[in-house]
A and B are shown apart, each in its own frame.
Chain A
Amino acid sequence: MRIFISGFGNIGLGFFETLLIRETFLKNRYKDDPVTVVGVVDSKSYEYNDDEYKICGFCTIGSKKTTGRLHKDRNSLSCREIMDMVDFDLLIEAGPTNITDGGEGLENIRHALRKGKDVITVNKGPLALAYSELSALAEKNGCHLRFEGSVGGGMPIINLCNEALVGQRIISIQGIFNGTCNLILSRMDSGIPFEQALREAQQLGYAESDPTYDIKGIDAASKVSILANSVFNRNVTFSDVSVTGIDTVTGEAVRMAAEKGMVIRHIGEISNDKLEVAPRLIPKNHPLSVSGSLNKAQVITDMAGPITVSGRGAGKSETGSAILSDLIWIMDRRNA
């Protein structure tokens, strides 16, 4: 399995490290199909295997960590052009999310699928905007498109619903899909005002300097649309989600909720007739009343009842584990 990685920031690099950590496991499991990384691209630079250069795990990681760059400067080359220079079987798209038009990530995925390559993406933008198009393209070209890490990082929600719970009718999913918002709201439970809780989240490295994506609910809404399409077979995009952020939640509202034994949490809700992200009132003993930066979701099924799953919603090894599970899923089928 020859892998091409697009996006070599925290997540791409994290997955590369995961491959090194799981090298022996993968060698033993796929004796006739060794896993090799044949191309890597980040925003400024790239490297790929050719007659003169071979990607070496520790050299690549070392170069990226010390210089911030890979072997060659990208100059004016697009990621698609670099993909065309390399023989590969699977693209891992881990570039930055662009929710306006899908950005380079969407173009990269389209390009790989058109070439008949399997794709694993953790980039939410392309899925939130063009899920139907991409899954049709994958089907047409006989490719696999997997994206467990795009929702909830290390929390296995998509494969849980589509594989472990196969045969069940999933009535709804309610969940906390943005750890930053949950951290802010749980700090507000202690009487800290919104602005201070946000600053704390920024200082801890959870929230970006521009926190709009998180606190306005854009990130969570992208995940809600991905779940609606992939679990409920709906045909929706990010713009179909009703979104309310947490920036209007006041300390007084949190206090009044607490008087009734409740907390306010930012909840995404998906069913056949609901598609929403909003701050909601939750009883303190409810499974979704969690503190800190965890993601958590409750899947309501017709036969098994409620199933609750939680995990770290971000982080390189957590998201790397989701990519690894998708890789194994694909390799099991390709090597069957």
Chain B
Amino acid sequence: MLVNADIYVKDIPGSLVRSLEPISAVDGNIVGVVHNREQVIDGMISVNLTFNVEAEKLEALKTMWKSRDVVIAQMGSVTGAVPMDYILIGDANSNFTEKLMKEAAESIAFSSYEVNTSSYTDGEGRTVRISAKLETKEDAKKLDAFMIESCAKKKLTCIRGLTA
């Protein structure tokens, strides 16, 4: 996935190189580096990085940066957000769906999500369509497991999108 990150590194010689080494260490490929020497906070300089890396290796990268005193101000995928779609059939009203998505967001990193509730009651309840974008494949897997478990508890039919 292509990732864009704002990081802060110490304003001392060699710190930029030390901040880039972990990207190579996780087999990432640096696409762009903007070294913004005008933006200094507490003796640290802002660096904007764009790089390709496997989603599964992001956590290892964060750990390495932390050990090198690199502060991550913002990090997110530029493209490659993982889309996931669900349709819930049964007694799925808007209160339930709202609560469901709040609970999901506590442990899963969403780039965005959209909930559509049917106006037609279809006998038992309203049908709900959830379209989400997740930051990593790991998050997508977590959301799949979460939806399966939550729908089973509520006795809803959960139709999941097919992922490769």
Chain A residues with CB under 8 Å of chain B are 172, 174, 244, 248-253, 256-257, 259-260, 262, 264, 267, 269, 278-282, 286, 288, 300, 306
- In angstroms, Cα B83 to Cα A286, docked, is 15
B116 within 8 A of A: yes
Most chain B CB within 10 A, of A250, A269, A306, is at: A250
- In angstroms, Cα B163 to Cα A288, docked, is 12
B160 within 8 A of A: yes
List the 3 closest pairs (A to B, CB-CB), nearest first: A248-B157, A281-B161, A280-B162
Q: Pick the contact of A253 from B89, B123, B162, B164 — CB < 8 Å?
A: B89
Q: Pick the contact of A279 from B90, B129, B159 — CB < 8 Å?
A: B159
Q: Pick the contact of B129 from A248, A260, A282, A300 — CB < 8 Å?
A: A260
Using CB atoms, name the residue of chain A closest to B127. Answer: A252
Number of interface residues of B (CB under 8 A): 19
B118 within 8 A of A: yes
- In angstroms, Cα B86 to Cα A256, docked, is 10
* A contact residues around B164 at 8 Å (CB): 172, 300, 306
Q: Does A257 lie within 8 Å of B162, measured CB to CB? A: no
Using CB atoms, name the residue of chain A closest to B156. Answer: A248
B91 within 8 A of A: no
- In angstroms, Cα B162 to Cα A262, docked, is 10
- In angstroms, Cα B164 to Cα A280, docked, is 12
Query: In the complex, how many residue pairs between chain A and chain B have their CB atoms under 8 Å apart?
Result: 64
Chain B residues with CB under 8 Å of chain A are 85-87, 89-90, 116, 118, 120, 122-123, 127, 129, 131, 157, 159-162, 164
* A contact residues around B127 at 8 Å (CB): 250, 252-253, 256
Q: Does A267 lie within 8 Å of B122, measured CB to CB? A: no
Using CB atoms, name the residue of chain B closest to A300. Answer: B164
Q: Does B131 lie within 8 Å of A260, measured CB to CB? A: yes
Q: Does B159 lie within 8 Å of A281, measured CB to CB? A: yes
Using CB atoms, name the residue of chain B closest to A257. Answer: B87
Most chain A CB within 10 A, of B116, B120, B127, B131, is at: B127
Q: Does B118 lie within 8 Å of A264, measured CB to CB? A: no
The distance from the CB of B161 to the nearest CB of chain A, in whole angstroms, is: 4
Q: Does A278 lie within 8 Å of B129, measured CB to CB? A: no
Q: Does B122 lie within 8 Å of A264, measured CB to CB? A: no
Using CB atoms, name the residue of chain B closest to A244. Answer: B157
Q: Does A288 lie within 8 Å of B89, measured CB to CB? A: no
The distance from the CB of B52 to the nearest CB of chain A, in whole angstroms, is: 20
The distance from the CB of B114 to the nearest CB of chain A, in whole angstroms, is: 10
Using CB atoms, name the residue of chain A closest to B161. Answer: A281
